[in-house]
């Protein structure tokens, strides 16, 4: 029997990288899985890759009404929800002087505001015991140039993991942060930088990792499986850093 047998799990941002690999691993462990993404085409491709009866839902992670609609769709499909992995994120990096209000607001809507209201909307579906995993980032702990808004949004999300754990502990709902370090995913090509600036940032990121390499989506997905499973029943309100030592060495 798989470690997630009988569980219903939602993964936001599940069409590529960490989210897609986590969906794959959740399925292998016996869970029923729903994924979200912006692009209908990419959702269909992910669904083909994953196979089975995966539910694929088009969703704009920063739109509050869309989060409520997502909860309603899941409520119609499933009797309850056991696992939520909020992984969708805006990874825009740029120098402070290049930020404008619209880009800042869009990043915070996706990375913090949307997740806040998604958890709120999903509360009636979450049954005890349940696990909510918020995807943070090691960037919240270090001073990586050009990551100011991104790192601040992830710091807020990790704070939310602690405060919601305190609020939900009597409901049997665990909330934890899962913070990747530099990971080889398609998101590295979506930073909003010019090619020269992006390559310079990539070199700097590689130098950050004490063990000398980037992480893989599988390594993050395996950590998500642990936090989602009953093996992590005593893990509450904390942050699991899967970062090659970036945040501590």
CATH number for the domain that contains residue 216? 3.40.50.720
For residue 155, what is the DSSP state?
H
Predicted pLDDT of residue 191: 61
Q: Is residue 145 part of a domain?
A: yes
Q: Is the peptide bond before 129 cis (omega within 30 degrees of 0)?
A: yes
Question: Where in the sequence is the domain holding 73, given as residue range(s)?
Answer: 8-240
Predicted pLDDT of residue 199: 76
- Number of domains composing the chain: 1
Q: Is residue 126 part of a domain?
A: yes
Judge whether 237 and 178 are in contact, CB under 8 Å.
Answer: no
Q: Is 150 among the catalytic positions?
A: yes
| Residue 183 burial (C-beta neighbours within 10 Å; 0-12, 13-18, 19+) | buried
| CA–CA–CA angle 126, 129, 134 (5° rounding) | 65
Q: Is residue 245 part of a domain?
A: no
Q: Is residue 140 part of a domain?
A: yes
Predicted pLDDT of residue 194: 74
Q: In angstroms, rounded to a whole number, what is the distance separating the alpha carbons of residues 123 and 213?
A: 38
Question: pTM of the full predicted structure?
Answer: 0.94
Q: Is residue 30 part of a domain?
A: yes
Q: Is residue 249 part of a domain?
A: no
Q: In angstroms, rounded to a whole number, what is the distance separating the alpha carbons of residues 48 and 228?
A: 24
Along the chain (249 residues), what's the average pLDDT of each consecutive run of 10 residues?
96 97 98 97 96 94 98 97 98 96 98 98 97 98 94 98 97 98 76 72 81 93 98 98 95
Please tell me the total number of residues recorded for the chain in this structure: 249
Among 26, 85, 108, 150, the one annotated catalytic: 150
Residue 132 β-bridge partners: 84, 175
Q: Is residue 118 part of a domain?
A: yes
Q: Is residue 2 part of a domain?
A: no
114-150 burial code (b ≥16 CB/10 A, e <16): bbbbbbebbeebbeeebbbbbbbbbbbbeebebbbbb
Predicted pLDDT of residue 39: 96
Predicted pLDDT of residue 189: 64
* Nearest residue to 181 via CA among 113, 238, 240, 95: 240
Residues with Cβ within 8 Å of 188's Cβ and at least 6 positions away in sequence, in order, are: 198, 202
Judge whether 229 and 3 are in contact, CB under 8 Å.
Answer: yes
* Nearest residue to 42 via CA among 63, 22, 19, 65: 19
Predicted pLDDT of residue 109: 98
Residue 85 β-bridge partners: 11, 133
Predicted pLDDT of residue 47: 96
Hey, what are 177's tokens? Answer: 């942060």
Predicted pLDDT of residue 180: 97
Predicted pLDDT of residue 198: 72
* Nearest residue to 47 via CA among 18, 84, 72, 14: 14
């Amino acid at each position: 029997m798989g470690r997630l047998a009988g569980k219903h799990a939602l993964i936001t941002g599940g069409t590529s990288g960490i989210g897609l690999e986590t969906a794959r691993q959740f399925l292998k462990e016996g869970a029923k899985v729903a994924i979200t993404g912006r692009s209908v085409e990419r959702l269909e491709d992910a669904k083909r890759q994953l196979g089975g009866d995966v539910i694929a839902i088009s969703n704009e992670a920063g739109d509050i009404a869309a989060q409520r609609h997502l909860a309603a769709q899941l409520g119609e499909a499933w009797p309850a929800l056991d696992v939520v992995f909020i992984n969708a994120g805006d990874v825009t990096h740029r120098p402070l002087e290049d930020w404008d209000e619209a880009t800042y607001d869009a990043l915070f809507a996706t990375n913090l505001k949307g997740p806040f209201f998604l958890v709120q909307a999903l509360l009636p579906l979450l049954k005890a015991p349940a696990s909510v995993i918020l995807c943070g980032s090691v960037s919240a702990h270090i001073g990586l140039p050009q990551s100011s808004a991104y790192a601040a949004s992830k710091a807020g999300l990790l704070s939310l993991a602690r405060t919601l754990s305190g609020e939900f502990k009597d409901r049997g709902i665990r909330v934890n942060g899962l913070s990747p370090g530099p990971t080889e995913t398609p998101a590295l090509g979506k930073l909003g930088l010019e090619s020269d600036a992006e390559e310079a940032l990539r070199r700097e990121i590689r130098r950050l990792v004490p063990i000398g390499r980037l992480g893989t989506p599988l390594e993050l997905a395996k950590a998500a499986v642990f936090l989602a499973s009953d093996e992590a029943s005593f893990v509450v309100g904390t942050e699991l850093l899967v970062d090659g030592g970036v945040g501590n060495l």
